[in-house]
Amino acid sequence: MIGPLERPPATRPGLAELWRDFGPTYAANGFIGWLFSVTAPVAIILSVGRSGGLSEAEIASWVFGVLCINSLISIAFCWLYRQPLVFFWTIPGTVLVGPALAHLSFAEVVGAFYLTGLLMFVLSVTGWVKRAMAAVPMPIVMGMVAGVFLRFGLDVVRALHQDLWIAGPMVIAWILLSALPALGRRMPPIIGALLVGVAAALFGERFDADTFAALEIIRPVIQVPAWSLAAAIELVVPLAITVLVVQNGQGITVLRAVGHQPPVNAITAACGLGSLAVAAVGGVNTCLTGPTNAIISSSGERARHYTAGIFVGLLAFLFGLFAPTFTRFLLDAPEAFVMTLAGLAMLKILQAAFTTCFGGRYTLGALIAFLVTVADLPLFNIGAAFWGLVAGILVSRLLERDDYRADGGTA
């Protein structure tokens, strides 16, 4: 241990060993993990940024930050710890930003990104992160998350109503690939929906064919933060919870399930420092990704999984360098394409959130957190997600005392 931070293994793989450990299985898993990360999650950034009034340059800078900066962290951690430790950005946190931008400036939101990163770093170096992760019952957290994500599920229905010729084939492809596991393993459903949606838009001449005629390298937009108490109260605690409990918790669980031992405190420190770096160009907070790490550790030898993580990082870095081109591509896409892609990506997460909310204890607190968040009524200029957490915890403390006692009073 280095203080509370876990010490990496004494030996580091050299280039020759990296090449020996790499292979077709790890290249394929890395490519699929990368493709998953730069499709629907990027569409969610676009959806939030566009609805929040951000410029094309600001959205491209956000995409650059969360891909390029986090890819460097991923490569370093995979190499240092010889584990598949891929870092990207918090999807629930991205969604949280959407309602906040309705009454806060982007500079105030960026200030909250900085404060969240600082909080996570302090939790990591003090060793308090595990206690912080256990402080709020998971069902109540997921009630808030479900309330935030609900809009994306509804967007799929709206897209089908507004533009059936784009959304319909995408939904059908997603259903077929989800219903046929053997096929779905070769072509993840969300990627199949993406390809079918692009084909439908091209067939209907709904895309600008000149978008990729000239690749444009990013010119990052440096964001000057504004310090706002309202933004700090509204965003810092929910953002930290979504990173530490929802995202990192999922990623750590996925890796432990296949025999890895992820360094929890070091991961949290990386999320804190990464968040500070990414915020400089307008990016949301860094987290350990669950789905991508699940993909790259799904097959092959456990000791060689780290090479797939390094491959993901290299691909993500290149993609982030050309963020303006890909951002323009999505901005030029039919609205139903982005709505459907983002919504389909959220369905499994929304399902998991509801299952966690109402599958055991703290169900009333989870329901209150969900309802208050869905109502989306800010109080004292502080958004509903924060009040959803507060209301859920208060109600649960008062009316679900048996659940706290059953958990040993630790939650």
pLDDT digits (tens, 9 = 90+) for 253-285: 778 878 899 998 899 999 999 999 999 999 999
In the prediction, which pLDDT does 172 show? Answer: 95
- Does residue 4 form part of some domain? no
HSE-CB of 3 using CA atoms within 13 angstroms:
11
Is residue 130 included in any domain, yes or no? yes
Question: Do the domain assignments include residue 10?
Answer: no
Once rounded to an integer, what is the mean pLDDT over residues 317-324? 91
Total domains in the fold of the chain: 1
Range of the domain at 86: 21-405
Asked if pLDDT for residue 32 goes beyond 90, the answer is no
| 353 within a domain of the structure (yes/no) | yes
If one compares 63 and 330, the residue with the highest pLDDT of the two is: 63
Confidence class for position 411, pLDDT limits 50, 70, 90: low
Mean pLDDT of 223-227: 94
Contacts of 13 (CB under 8 A, 6+ apart): 21, 79, 82, 306
Task: Encode 334-401 in three state secondary structure.
Answer: CHHHHHHHHHHHHHHHHHHHHHHHHCCCCHHHHHHHHHHHHHCCCECCECHHHHHHHHHHHHHHHHCH
Q: At 365, list the tokens.
A: 């607190």
Judge whether 9 lies within some domain.
Answer: no
Q: What angle do CA 194, 195, 197 make, to 5 degrees?
A: 65
> Which has more confidence, 377 or 281?
281
Predicted model pTM: 0.76
Q: Is residue 138 assigned to a domain?
A: yes
| Domain-located, residue 11 | no
pLDDT score recorded for residue 133: 65
Q: Mind listing the pLDDT tens digit for each residue in 141-174?
A: 888 878 877 887 898 999 999 999 999 999 999 9
Q: Is 260 helix (H, G, I), strand (E, B) or coil?
A: coil
Is the residue at 410 inside a domain?
no
212 or 43, greater pLDDT: 43
Average pLDDT value for residue range 126-137: 72
Backbone angles phi, psi at 379, to 5 degrees: -130, 130
Mean pLDDT of 45-70: 92
The region of weakest confidence among 12-16, 142-146, 300-304 is 142-146
Q: What is the mean pLDDT of the chain?
A: 86
